[in-house]
Amino acid sequence: MGRYNYLLAIGGAAAIFGAVGSYTHDVPVSLFDDHVITRLIFGIIGVTALRQSGGPEVTGPQRWNIPFASFILAIELVTLAHAEGTRAWGFYAATLAFWLLAWRAVDVVLAEQAPRGRAKLLSDLAVPMIFGFTLIVLWEVLARGLQIPMVILPAPSAILGKLFTSLPILGADFLQTVQGILAGYVIGCGAGILVAILIDRVPFLQRGLLPLGNLVSALPIVGVAPIMVMWFGFDWQSKAAVVVIMTFFPQLVNTVAGLTAAGAMERDLMKTYAASYGQTLFALRLPSALPFIFNGLKINSTLALIGAIVAEFFGTPIVGMGFRINTEVGRMNIDMVWATIVVAALCGSLFYGILAFIEKRITFWHASYRQGA
């Protein structure tokens, strides 16, 4: 029996235990209680998983039975988690079944990887979406089922509710923080690229500027942020200054490395054409450095977000994502803190995704994209 069949066997057995077990300690076990439909669903899923685990690999439309079953399990588990009472062993057996069957569902999707085109894009997105959905369901089920206090770990449903009820506040915080992020990101990354070209043109500067840049990048942000607030004030300008400090050195190092990426044969060819330094730079060396430059830009997309939010802890108008997190923690409104974190995570992911999309369109000629085509 292979690993996949073991997953199905254990998951099916756990689903059957969930079908016959008690869901709350204060309610006796009965197959004909208020959860009779849920028990029937768990039983059918358990039997289906056990049957598939004992035979050869399922093909055709039936291979989607387990992904569909894990989705139904998720719905039933979330419903049970919101019920009154302390959870019992039947509830946790069903939770184990969901986790194992969701694991098997990921394997099914991975086996369906398309070679190229839009189908490949969809299949590439399906795996992280299923994985993220599984984590959120387990978080919701365990947070509700274990009755974890809201100040320790709010359930995703509570966070989502707070997110929608606080959209005006979170929107204003987002706009305030993004001002500092974008300004600092453009200045920091742009300065890193320009200084890298200067270092490449005047090699002796590499011995002086790179160690200095390394020193600046090693400065603790919690020490730099208050100084920037005193220098540039409480508005977005001080946050932009912190972002510049955080993004300059990574962009500098990546660009310097990229400018040396052009092959010796290509450089010799440019010399045979009597190309000047500027012509070689723009026709050969900068295009060859683009993958390195985009690596720096993508790294800095997250560093800029972190830097701006942390800087807002040390002085800001009464708006901003860092200000919101700092304030709501003091008020013990942890659901609002998590809602702000969700907005920040979505912002960072979107920023990174846009850069990755632009990189793929501009550097389509690079070996990493041609090999995956």
Give 76 or 293, the one with higher predicted confidence. Answer: 293
What backbone torsions phi and psi does residue 143 show, to the nearest 5 degrees? -65, -40
Which DSSP symbol is given to 284?
A: I
Strand-pair partners of 188: none
Tell me the average pLDDT across 85-91: 75
C-alpha radius of gyration, the chain, whole number: 27
Give 23 or 309, the one with higher predicted confidence. Answer: 309
Tell me the average pLDDT across 84-96: 79
Answer yes or no: is pLDDT of 298 > 90.
Answer: yes
Q: Please, what sign has the CA dihedral across residues 360, 362, 365, 366?
A: negative
**Stated length of the chain:** 373
Domains of the chain, earliest start first: 3-148 (no CATH), 163-372 (1.10.3720.10)
Whole-prediction pTM value? 0.80
Model confidence pLDDT, tens digit, residues 47-83: 888 777 766 566 656 667 778 888 888 888 888 787 7
Model confidence pLDDT, tens digit, residues 164-200: 999 999 999 999 999 999 999 999 999 999 998 888 8
Q: What dihedral do alpha carbons 249, 186, 246, 340 form, nearest 10°?
A: -150
